[in-house]
Amino acid sequence: MSDSTLKLPRWAKLVFCGAVITVAIAAYNEFKPAPTGLDANIKNCLIVTFDTTRADAIGSYGNMNASTPNLDRMADAGVLFQRCMAVAPITLPSHTSILTGQYPTTHGARNNGTHHVPEDVITIAEQLSDNGFATGAVISALVLDSRYGLDQGFDFYDDNLANAEKAPMFMFRETKATDTAQRAITFLKERNGERWFLWVHFFDPHANYAPPQVFLDKANGDPYDGEIAYADSGLGEIMQFLQKTRQLDETLVVMTADHGDSMGEHGESTHGMFVYDATTHVPLIMKHPALAQGMRVNGTVSSVDITPTVLDLLDIKAQTDFDGISFASEIRPGKKGVVSRPPVYQEAMNPYYNHAVRDDQARYIKSPIAEFYDMFRDPNELNNLLPGAETQARSYIKTIDSYLADGEKDSKGDDIKSMDPEMRAALAELGYVWSDDEDMLEEHGGELADPKTKVEMWEKSQHANNLVRADMLDEAELLLKEILTEDPGAILSRSALAGIFIKTERLEDAYKLLAETSMMKGARNSVFLRLCIVDRKLENGQWKEHLAAAKQMNPRDPLPWVREGDWLQNDGKSDAAIVAYTTALEIDERSAKALVGIGNIEHRRGNNKEAWTAFEKSIEYDPIAFEAWYNLGVVAESMGDSNKALGYYDKALELQENHLLTLVNVGNLLMHDRQFGKSAEYYQKALAVTEDDFKANYNFGLLKLATKDFSGAQLFFEQACRSEPSEMIAWNQLSAFLWPIEGVGNTEIKFGHIEGRREKGIKSATMPPPNFYLVRHFIVVLIITCCCWQFGFIWIYLV
C-alpha cells in the first residue's frame, strides 16, 4: 500500500514558516499593549475644553445622572484632578490662562469682547510650533474669534461658524458638537506623520440648553446634562479616530472647562458675576500611557497649571514665565498624586474686578463686601465668616496682595481689534457685562457696587432681555419699568425699554427716554446713536448734534463714523459717506462695516473691481460678515457670473438663513437657469419670511408662467399688486396672462421680467400709462365674463 502523505520541498517549508512568523509579528504589533510609564512616547497633544461645564456634572466626578462615557474612560485610564479652579467665570480670560499658564492679571485679557490677548503674550501653540509641531484649533463660538488674539501660534485656527445654528434664546452663533468634532478630524486627517498639537472647543454646554433628543434621553430629561453628554460624544468621535489611526497611545489628551455655571446658586442663573465653586470648579483629566492610571489628585490646582505641566510632559523647555506650576513628576506611574501649591488666584469683572484666592481649606473674596469661607465645613459657600474671622483671613489677603503687587495688566484699549455692534450685543445677551457698563451696577453714591447686592436686579434685566428676544414685548416692558422704578439709573434697562418703544413705533416715547438717558452718568455713545436713529425717523433735524456727541464720547470708536456713512449714503451723499467710512478705517482698519459701506458705494458707481476688493477685505477681517458675502453675490451677479453669485449667496444664507433679498436673488438665478423646482423652494422660503413681499410674489408668478401654471401665476401676481399697487409691471402681467391660447405665442423668461412674443412681433417692454392697464384689465374681465373669447383676443391683439 502506497504512502499518500504529501511531502513538501524544503524551500516550501521555509516559506511557510516565514509567513507564519510574519503574521505573528504583525498580530503582536497590532494587539500588543501600549508602552507605559517612562517607556511610553508622548508624540502629540490634544487639549479639549468644554464651555460652561461644572466638575460635578461629569460622571467620574460623582454625577449619577451624567452620560459621559468617554470622559469616564479617560478618568479610569488616566489622572483626574479633584479640585481644579478656573481663573475667571467667563470664556476668553479663562481660555487664555489655560493656553498661556498665566493669570489674567499677567496676560491682560480680562473680559470678553472688550479685551484681547496682547501680541507679547506667548501661548502654548507658539511654543510647540517653535518645536516643530503642527498646531491647530477648532472653535465653536463667537467669543473666541481670532480677532481676540488667541490664535497666536496656531497654523490653523478654525473659527469659521458658517455651519453654525442660531440658538433661539440668543442672537448668537455656535457650532454643535458633531460639526466641531468633524472639523477637528479634518485637521487630523491632514497630518502626515509630523507631531501635532490640537485644541478643540465645544460650546454645547453653554445656555441655551437644547441637546439633540437622543442625548436629552440619555440624561433623563436634564437639558444641561444632555448638552454635556452631546459634547462628550463629540470628544468620543475624535478619540475613535485617533484609535483607528493608531495615534491615541501617542497622544496626551487633556480635558478641562473654562468655567462652570451657577444654575441658580447664590441667586445667579448662569455665570459671570461670582467666583464661587459653582462657576469656577471645573474638571481636569489627563490621559496617556506615560501617566498613572486611575489616579485621583486631591490638592487644589488651577487652570494656569495646565500649560506648564503639558510642556513638561512633552519635555519642552518653556519660553516664558508662568504663574502656574508643573505637576508632571507627580502624576507618573508609582507616584501618589500629591500636589502642593500656593492658593490659586481668581477674579470676576462685575461690577469691577473682584479678586479671590482659594486653596484646600478656604476661599477669600476681596470685594466691597469681603467674604471668607471654610471650604471643609461650608463647601456650598453659604456662611460668610466675615466680619469675625479677620485673623484667619489675613494670610489670604496677603496672598491676593502679592499677586497684585507688580500691577495688573489690562489689554482693553487702543489695540483692541474691531468688533461689530451686533457682536457686542450678542455677547452682552449671553449675560456678560461690559466694563463700559459698570455704572449700571454702581451705587448712586459713586462707589463700586458689590455683585451680591445687584444680582437680583441683574437677573431681572436678563429675564427682560429674554422676553424681548422671545418677542413678548408687553411682558418685557412691564418688567423693565419695574426695574427702573427700583433703579432709575439702570442704563441697560433704559436702553432696552427704548428699544421696545422703537420696535413698536412709539418714537416720541423712545426719543424722550433716550434724551433723559443721555444726560445720566454711565450713558454710552450707543445711547446717542439710537437718538440719531429716532431723530431721523421723527425728522427733528438734530441727529447730527447727537452724532457729534457720540463721537466726542469715545473718539477711538469707529462705529459713529460708520453709522454716519450709512446715513449719508441713504441720503444720496456718496462722497460725504466715503469720507465718513474712511475716517472709521483710520480709527480701526479692521472695521468690516466701513468696508462694506465703501463697497456698496463703489458698486452703485459701477466700480465693481473696487467694490469686490472692499467686500473681500471685509470678509478677511470678519469671516462671518453677512453683508459682505451678500454683496459679493450681488457684484458677481451684476458681472454675469451666476455660479460665483450662487456660491456667495449660499454663504450669506448659511449666516442668515432667512434673509429675504438673498432668498429671492437665489430663486431668480435658479429660474434663469431653468432649475424651476429649486427656484420655487427659495421663493417659498422667502414668502415664509414675508408673505406679502413684492419681489418674491412677482418672480414666483413669473416662474409659474414659465411652468404653465397659469392659476398659480394669477395668485402670485395678484398678491404682488396688493403689496405694491404702484408697480405697474405686476398689473401688466396680471392682465396679460389671463388669456393663454394655444398656438398664439409662447412665453419666454428673461431674468427678472417676461416678454410676451406673438406671431406679428414683440410687444414693447415699455409700460404705457397706468390707466391704460387698469381699463384694459377691466375690459378683459368683462369680455371673459361674456364668454366672448375669440372676439376678446382679437381686440387685445389689435390694442
Which spans in 327-418 are helix H? 390-404
* Alpha carbon distance 375, 62 (integer Å): 18
Strands 251-257 and 44-50: parallel
CB contact at 8 A, 748 and 791: no
**What CA–CA distance (Å, rounded) separates 381 from 378?**
5
pLDDT confidence of 426, banded at 50, 70, 90?
Answer: low
Q: How confident is the model at residue 418 (pLDDT cuts 50, 70, 90)?
A: very low
Q: Judging by DSSP bridges, how do beta strands 362-366 and 354-358 pair with one another?
A: antiparallel
Q: Using the predicted structure, report yes or no on whether residue 753 has a pLDDT greater than 70.
A: no
Please determine, for residue 462, whether its predicted confidence score (pLDDT) is greater than 90. Answer: no
Write out the H or E segment, with its range, that includes residue 343.
Answer: none
Comparing 123-137, 321-335, 733-747, the range with the smallest average pLDDT is: 733-747
Instruction: Tell whether the model's pLDDT for residue 748 goes beyond 60.
Output: no
How big is the CA angle at 185 (ends 180 and 186), to the nearest 5 degrees?
100
**Section 441-467 average pLDDT:** 71
Q: What is the pTM of this model?
A: 0.75
Query: Which residue shows C-alpha cell 469682547?
Result: 113
Mean pLDDT of 625-635: 94
pLDDT of residue 287: 98
Assess whether pLDDT exceeds 80 at residue 648.
yes
Q: pLDDT band for position 168 (50/70/90)?
A: very low
Q: Burial code of 630-645, b = ≥16 C-beta within 10 A, e = fewer?
A: bbbbbbbbeeeebeeb
The confidence band for 738, taking pLDDT boundaries of 50, 70 and 90, is: low
Within 8 A by CB and 6+ apart from 723, the residues are 692, 693, 694, 697
Q: Which amino acid is located at 48 in the chain?
A: V
- Helix (H) or strand (E) segment spanning residue 557: none
Query: Which pLDDT belongs to residue 450?
Result: 83
Q: Which residues pair with 138 in a beta bridge?
A: 158, 200
Beta strands 295-302 and 79-85: pairing type?
A: parallel
* Cis amide prior to 283 (ω within 30 degrees): no
The C-alpha atoms of residue 301 and residue 298 are separated, in whole angstroms, by 9
Say what the pLDDT of residue 254 is.
99
Terminal-to-terminal C-alpha distance of the chain: 115
User: Per-residue confidence at 755, pLDDT binned at 50, 70, 90?
Assistant: very low
Cα 322 from chain centroid (whole Å): 30
Element (H, E) at 371: strand 371-374
Backbone CA torsion sign across 618, 620, 624, 629: positive
In order, the DSSP letters of 479-542 are HHHHHHHH-TT-HHHHHHHHHHHHHTT-HHHHHHHHHHHHTSTT--HHHHHHHHHHHHHHT-S-
- What pLDDT sits at residue 270? 86
Question: Which tens digit of pLDDT belongs to each residue from 556-570?
Answer: 889 999 999 999 999
- Cα atoms in the Cβ-side hemisphere of radius 13 Å centred on 54: 18
32 or 744: which carries more pLDDT confidence?
32
The enclosing H or E element of 277 equals helix 277-280
Cα(313)–Cα(291) distance, rounded to whole angstroms? 9
Judged by average pLDDT, the poorest of 405-409, 436-440, 467-471 is 436-440
DSSP 573: -
Distance CA 771, CA 733 (A): 15
8 Å CB contact between 547 and 560: yes
The whole-number average pLDDT for the span 59-78 is: 97
For residues 289-310, give the mean pLDDT.
Answer: 97
Cβ atoms of 615 and 624 closer than 8 Å? no
Q: Is the pLDDT of residue 150 over 50?
A: yes
Alpha-carbon torsion, ordered 786, 789, 792, 796, to 10 deg: 140
Higher pLDDT, 796 or 122: 122
Residue 677, Cβ neighbours under 10 Å: how many?
Answer: 9
User: DSSP 3-state assignment of 623?
Assistant: coil
What's the rounded Cα separation, in Å, for the pair 206 and 174?
Answer: 10
Number of alpha carbons in the 13 Å side-chain half-sphere of residue 689: 19
Give the Cα-Cα-Cα angle 17, 35, 22 (nearest 5 degrees): 10
User: What would the grid cell of residue 56 be?
Assistant: 460635578
Share of the chain above pLDDT 70, in %: 81
Q: Is the peptide bond before 732 cis (omega within 30 degrees of 0)?
A: no
CB 430 within 8 A of CB 144: no
Residue type for position 771? N
For the purposes of burial, counting CB atoms within 10 Å of the CB of 703, is it exposed (0-12), middle (13-18) or buried (19 or more)?
buried
- Report yes or no: 317 and 301 within 8 Å, Cβ to Cβ: no
- Taking 3-state DSSP, the helix, strand and coil percentages for the chain, each rounded to the nearest 5, stand at 50, 10, 35
Q: Extract the C-alpha cell encoding 230.
A: 452631546
Does the pLDDT of residue 2 top 90, yes or no? no
607 pLDDT tier (thresholds 50, 70, 90):
very high
pLDDT at position 416: 45
Q: CA 204 to CA 36: how far, in whole Å?
A: 34
CB 322, CB 308: distance < 8 Å: yes
Contact criterion met (CB below 8 Å) for 614 and 637 = no
pLDDT score for 60 = 98
Mean pLDDT of 617-645: 91
Q: What are φ and ψ of residue 356, in 5° steps?
A: -145, 155
Average pLDDT, the chain: 84
Alpha helices in 588-727 (DSSP H): 592-604, 608-621, 626-638, 642-655, 660-672, 676-689, 694-706, 710-723
Taking a C-beta distance cutoff of 8 angstroms, is the pair 477, 462 a contact?
A: no
d(CA 570, CA 582): 17
Residue with the bigger pLDDT between 305 and 553: it is 305
DSSP string of 723-768, one letter each residue: H-TT-HHHHHHHHHTT---TTTEEEEEETTEEEEEETTEE--SS--
Query: What is the per-residue burial (b if ≥16 Cβ within 10 Å, else e) of 583-614?
Result: bbbebbebbbbbbbbbbbbbbeeeebeebbeb
pLDDT at site 445: 36
Under the banding of pLDDT at 50, 70 and 90, the label for residue 424 is low
pLDDT in tens, 317-346: 998 899 999 999 999 998 888 888 999 999
Give the three cell numbers for residue 444: 448712586
| CA–CA gap between residue 248 and residue 227 (Å, rounded) | 25
Q: Which of 130-134, 412-416, 443-447, 728-732: highest mean pLDDT?
A: 130-134
Q: What is the 3-state secondary structure (H, E, C) of 431-496?
A: CCCCHHHHHHHCCCCCCCCCHHHHHHHHHHHHHHHHHHHCCCHHHHHHHHHHHHHHCCCCHHHHHH
Query: Could you tell me the pLDDT band of residue 272, with boundaries at 50, 70 and 90?
Result: confident
Element (H, E) at 151: none
Categorize the per-residue pLDDT at 399 as very low, low, confident or very high, splitting at 50, 70 and 90. Answer: very high
- Each residue's pLDDT tens digit, 9-37: 666 566 555 655 555 455 445 445 555 55
**H or E, element range at 136:** strand 134-138
Model confidence at 289: pLDDT above 60: yes
pLDDT tens, position by position, 220-271: 999 999 999 999 999 999 999 999 999 999 999 999 999 999 999 998 988 8
User: All domains of the chain, ordered by start, with CATH?
Assistant: 38-267+274-337 (3.40.720.10), 433-557 (1.25.40.10), 696-798 (no CATH)
**pLDDT band with cut points at 50, 70 and 90 for residue 660:** very high
pLDDT at 41: 84
pLDDT recorded at residue 765: 30
